[in-house]
Amino acid sequence: MKKYSLYLHFFTFFLCAFACARPVRSDAADTLHLPAESSVQRYGALHVSGRYLKDQHNNTISLRGQSLGWSTWWPQYWNAGVVNWLTDDFKTDIVRAAMGIDATPAYLNDRARQLSLLKKVIDAALAKGSYVIIDWHCEAFHQEEAVAFFKSMAQTYGHHPHILYEIINEPNKTQTWEQVKSYATAVIAGIRAYDPDNIIIVGCPYWDQKIREVADAPLTGYSNIMYTVHFYAASHGQWLRNDCAYALSKNIPVFVTECNGSEASGSGHIDYPQWEAWFTFLESNQVSWINWSVSDKRNELCSILLPGAPANGGWTAAQLTESGKYIRAKLRGYSTRP
């Protein structure tokens, strides 16, 4: 009788474990009827192993994509048409939804509108089979609001493998790495309460350039954490690549969530030799990257669109800026999707 009772307890335990287990990520993707050969259909749920980004089959991958401009100033491009065009024509694997936080208007003072824009982009990425970064686009921490926001995002979207979280855009020169780590610990806890395994991307001081400080004292005790570096090739050259190489040598997983060939101001001049040197470095080290930005600001070199370009995608070459034409060709050249 005791033996029978023991078997019964074991059976009950395993039945409960099976019933209570979190659904497999691919099920969430399957319910969306992902387009054949889409990035999420191909790569599935992502994870980090050492310094590398890995797909569902444990293959090392690099994602390449395009960031939307600030939701504050270029909301007209936050729609399914743009997400679809970037995916189909630019051949992006991933889009970045750079939601303004403390500008005007932005999340802290225009919450309903900003969330509506964000939902359009996320829902479009889910349907298109594109990865999407939910980007808390500011320098200041706003920790209480950030924790609540990312909890909500994780609860709503965390069961989809498409989702990545960028929990702060660019900590500035007044914020220390220890302060960023403290903030990140709080936000990560909020996300992990609802989403135990999608990628979380953490910024670093001096507008995401102090990656050496990250390498010397990374967050510990977490899985699927990456760290971002931002570069503008005409301002950030070999010295920053050297710092990235140092981080990589210490097994720090780096994701370049924002970059361009211009100066850090977004204008000045485009340094094509340095931009090419960056692409050579990123590709040879299998580091994922995202270009900045889908915007049509007049005379801004990092904007990929000329003023008045259509709000729903479908852009012709005549509607792209110099950098827009360059990055479109670069993305299409790297893509292996039909």
Q: What are phi and psi of 215, to 5 degrees?
A: -60, -35
CA dist., res. 336 & res. 59, Å (int): 15
Q: What are phi and psi of 123, to 5 degrees?
A: -60, -35
Out of 166, 213, 258, 263, the active site residue is 258
The first and second tokens of residue 134, run together, are: 């939910």
Closest by CA position to 264, among listed 295, 227, 230, 293: 230
CA torsion, points 306, 310, 313, 316, in degrees to nearest 10? -60
What single DSSP character describes residue 227?
E
65 bridge partner residues? 94, 290
Closest by CA position to 153, among listed 184, 195, 113: 195
SS3 315: coil
CA dist., res. 154 & res. 156, Å (int): 5
Distance separating the N- and C-terminal Cα atoms of the chain: 63
Q: What are phi and psi of 81, to 5 degrees?
A: -60, -40
Whether omega for the bond prior to residue 293 falls within 30 degrees of 0, making it cis, is yes
Residues ≥6 apart with Cβ < 8 Å to 36: none
Out of 170, 213, 263, 300, the active site residue is 170
Q: What sign for the dihedral angle of Cα 126, 287, 149, 140?
A: negative
SS3 271: coil
CA dist., res. 71 & res. 262, Å (int): 21
170 catalytically annotated? yes
Closest by CA position to 121, among listed 157, 152, 147, 167: 157
276 catalytically annotated? no
SS3 136: strand
Which positions are catalytic? 170, 258
